[in-house]
Amino acid sequence: MASQSATSIAVQRSLARQRRDATGLAFSILLLLAMLLTLVILVVLLVDQVTRAIPVFQERGVDFLTSGLSSNPANAGVFQGLVGSIVMGMLVAVLCFPLGILTAVYLEEYAGDNLLTRFIDINIRNLAGVPSIVYGLLGLTVFVAFFAALGFPNNGRNIIAGAVTLTALILPIVIITSSEALRSVPKTLREGGYGVGASRWEVTRQLVLPAARPGILTGTILALARALGETAPLLLAGAILGTFSTSGSLQDLFTGPYTVLPMTVYDWARKPQEEFRALTSAAIVVLLVLTLSFNTLAILLRNRYQKRW
């Protein structure tokens, strides 16, 4: 009797495992189909844009990258938008990365687990989900107005105001990704540092930050890549749709009118001339290459500094 009971229990467990495996297999297939559908849509869009852009690059070549904005499609290029995006990316990196990483270090390594810390963490995560157009309104009403009050030309609509607006947009993302990278560091590493008499600052600087560096670098660079593709906040924060000069002084570059690649794409897509359709696709390809370059850099840095525990 005992043998039959044991056999019955084993059979029941085997059948239960089979039912669970069948459910898991169905869910895995569903996930795979969703991924394949997403990839198919992405490939179709990429092929369509690249197909439209190839004739522009074949006809114009490097001239398309070195020519400025123009109402004549035969002379129009992305040089000014490309310069604006690069300068914007540098400003956002300088403003956002130190502030975001230091905030994450404080929250994870120094702040206690109390009601205030949890309140701050919840609000940071909520801010990461706020639509980008809201940050554009923030940039218009706060940052642009601030620079206008200081007497900056163009009513405060300059690339610095745009960079601060994008900094506010991606700062919660940088804080969250940096915090997750710091949390992934084993506690035993910290305990070992404290065990040999190191202070909290020494443990954080010499052990925790180097160990969390791959995740921090990946998160910050991917956040910057997102910022470079934003259009809505900059529409409100002063980016122009027309031409502007990149041949003036450095002061003119930072305080005068500015534009970026997403604005160029938006402007050309609205024009009625058929010639601008191909130019729009070519500008999209340039923007994709710039964004993918940052993503590739993030992957290389992650693989370079990644440690396995």
Domain borders along the chain are 1-60, 64-305
Sorted by sequence, the CB contacts under 8 Å of residue 83 that are 6+ apart come out as 246
The average pLDDT across 185-203 equals 86
DSSP tag of 242: S
Report which secondary-structure segment, H or E, holds 218.
Answer: helix 209-228
Residue 102 has pLDDT above 90, yes or no: yes
pLDDT band, very low/low/confident/very high, at 244 (cuts 50, 70, 90): low
Q: What is the pLDDT of residue 7?
A: 63
Q: What is the pLDDT of residues 254-287, one digit of tens each?
A: 777 888 888 888 888 888 888 888 899 999 999 8
Structure tokens at 22: 């069948």
Task: Tell me how far apart the alpha carbons of residues 80 and 260 are, in angstroms, rounded to a whole number.
Answer: 7
Percentage of the chain beyond pLDDT 70 is 87
Question: Can you give the pLDDT at residue 225?
Answer: 85
Strand (E) or helix (H) holding 248? none
**Contact yes or no for 155/251 (Cβ under 8 A):** no
pLDDT at 166: 92
3-state secondary structure 99-131: HHHHHHHHHHHHCCCCHHHHHHHHHHHHHCCCC
Give me the residue label for tokens 């690059």.
Answer: 57
- Output 300 or 99, whichever has higher pLDDT: 99
Q: Is the pLDDT of residue 240 over 80?
A: no
Closest CA to 283 of 78, 121, 118: 78
pLDDT at 228: 85
Q: What is the residue whose two structure tokens read 């849509």? A: 41
Residue pair 139/168 in contact (Cβ under 8 Å)? The answer is yes
Residue 13's pLDDT band (boundaries 50, 70, 90)? low
What are the backbone dihedrals phi and psi of residue 84, each rounded to the nearest 5 degrees, phi first?
A: -60, -40
Helix 159-183 and helix 115-127, axial crossing angle in degrees, nearest 10: 130
| Superfamily of segment(s) 64-305 | MetI-like (1.10.3720.10)
* Close Cβ partners of 177 (under 8 Å, ≥ 6 residues apart): 215, 216, 218, 219, 220, 222, 223
| 167-186 average pLDDT score | 92
pTM: 0.81
What is the residue whose two structure tokens read 């495996």?
21
For 13, residues 6+ apart whose C-beta sits below 8 A from its C-beta are none
The model's pLDDT over 49-72, given as tens digits with 9 standing for 90+, comes to 999 899 888 888 888 888 888 888
How buried is residue 136: exposed, middle or buried, by Cβ count under 10 Å (0-12/13-18/19+)?
A: buried
pLDDT at 99 over 90: yes
